[in-house]
């Protein structure tokens, strides 16, 4: 009874969910419908498939089905999909959820408390993410990487923004084509515009999605997004965004060792080639061991870590350089300082 007044007077919000039609969307909508207390005024599902064949599982929204509407964003990536969604929202708050998360049963009640507690300067409130890991074994490299979301700042897997704050900074920067760094860029611009960001009390479950052995190689494309962040926010953006620094410097040294070794061998300088080759081998071995040691150490995982640890450093450097070149003249979205 004591909760009723606070819930009824809590600010209204809309939920925006970008999707590429993955089956997990049904679980996301089902969990959102089960979170009673302070339901959203509407749920905007943004279909970002390039070829939207087949129906989305919108009936999973249950009691919220009448509040669900769909938009299409043409396969331009999650930043563009979220922009397509929030720009149609009239509620004072917009809550972004990814289609692979599941809010907990008390989520809407705790969200109401988060929104009610926000002062006039609060531009965004982050939800807490919980990544379930196997209890019977050590997590794999991919599972540990997903678990890092629990410590991520301003992740849009569950992030509430004032709709006015989004409008002021022109929303997400669509030059970020992946679900990577677009959330950090937005958070930095919102703060630079004078708003504050804080963490809320609500919790959302983020399961580890299935992935093939080469997923860690494909994620190296994110180094181009890191290069864009450097262009937009300076070299210390890692600190401002609360992001881990990563291994790019070490990857560059390992890659340089391989290139020097090949060059010296071609020039008939075997001793120099051997020294540079040893640097490459030691760096690659250190990287592989750092990934193998905390994992399950199965034959499959060890083989995957050894193979991908050879490929990742040069690919990371290549994508970083590509990003620096492609975004060499980039300026912040909306001309924010």
User: For residues 61 and 44, what is the distance between their CA atoms, to the nearest angstrom?
Assistant: 11
* Digit-coded pLDDT (tens) for 12-38: 999 999 999 999 999 999 999 999 889
As a whole number, mean pLDDT of residues 79-103 equals 98
Query: pLDDT-based confidence at 120, cuts 50/70/90?
Result: very high
Distance CA 310, CA 183 (A): 30
* Confidence (pLDDT) at 8: 74
Report the pLDDT averaged over residues 42-66: 95
Q: Distance between CA 50 and CA 72 in Å, rounded?
A: 9
Q: Whole-number mean pLDDT of the chain?
A: 95
Q: What's the pLDDT band for 93 if we cut at 50, 70, 90?
A: very high
CA dist 60 and 44 (Å) reads 14
Determine what percent of the chain is predicted with pLDDT higher than 90.
93
Q: Dihedral through CA 310, CA 313, CA 319, CA 320, nearest 10? A: 180
Q: Mean pLDDT, to the nearest integer, of 1-7? A: 51
pLDDT in the model for residue 3: 47
pLDDT at 293: 98
Mean pLDDT of 185-203: 97
pTM listed for this prediction: 0.93
Predicted confidence at residue 2, as pLDDT, reads 45
């Amino acid at each position: 009874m004591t909760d009723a007044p606070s819930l009824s007077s809590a600010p209204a919000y809309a939920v925006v969910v970008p999707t590429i039609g993955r089956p997990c969307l049904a679980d996301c909508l089902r969990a959102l419908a089960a979170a009673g207390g302070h339901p959203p005024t509407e749920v905007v599902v943004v279909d970002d498939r390039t070829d939207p064949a087949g129906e989305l599982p919108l009936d999973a929204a249950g009691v919220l089905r009448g509040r669900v509407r769909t938009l299409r964003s043409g396969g331009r990536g999650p930043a563009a999909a979220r922009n397509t969604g929030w720009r149609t929202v009239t509620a004072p708050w917009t809550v972004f959820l990814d289609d692979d998360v599941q809010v907990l049963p008390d989520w809407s009640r705790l969200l109401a408390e988060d929104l009610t507690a926000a002062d006039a300067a609060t531009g965004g409130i982050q939800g807490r993410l919980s990544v379930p890991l196997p209890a019977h074994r050590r997590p794999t490299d991919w599972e540990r990487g997903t678990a890092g979301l629990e410590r991520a700042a301003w992740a849009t897997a569950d992030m509430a923004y004032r709709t006015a704050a989004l409008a002021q900074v022109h929303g997400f920067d669509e030059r970020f084509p992946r679900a990577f760094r677009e959330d950090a860029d937005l958070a930095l611009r919102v703060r630079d515009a004078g708003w504050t960001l804080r963490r809320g009390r609500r919790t959302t479950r983020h399961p580890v999605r299935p992935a093939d052995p080469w997923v860690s190689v494909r994620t190296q494309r994110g180094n181009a997004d890191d290069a864009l962040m450097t262009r937009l926010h300076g070299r210390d953006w890692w600190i401002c965004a609360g992001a881990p620094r990563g291994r790019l410097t070490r990857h560059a040294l390992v890659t340089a060792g391989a290139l020097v070794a090949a060059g010296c061998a071609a020039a008939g300088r075997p001793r120099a080639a051997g020294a540079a080759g040893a640097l490459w081998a030691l760096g690659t071995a250190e990287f592989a061991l750092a990934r193998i040691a905390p994992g399950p150490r199965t034959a499959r995982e060890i083989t995957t870590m050894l193979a991908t640890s050879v490929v990742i450093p040069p690919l990371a450097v290549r994508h970083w350089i590509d990003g620096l070149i492609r975004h060499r003249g980039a300026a912040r979205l909306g001309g924010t300082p």
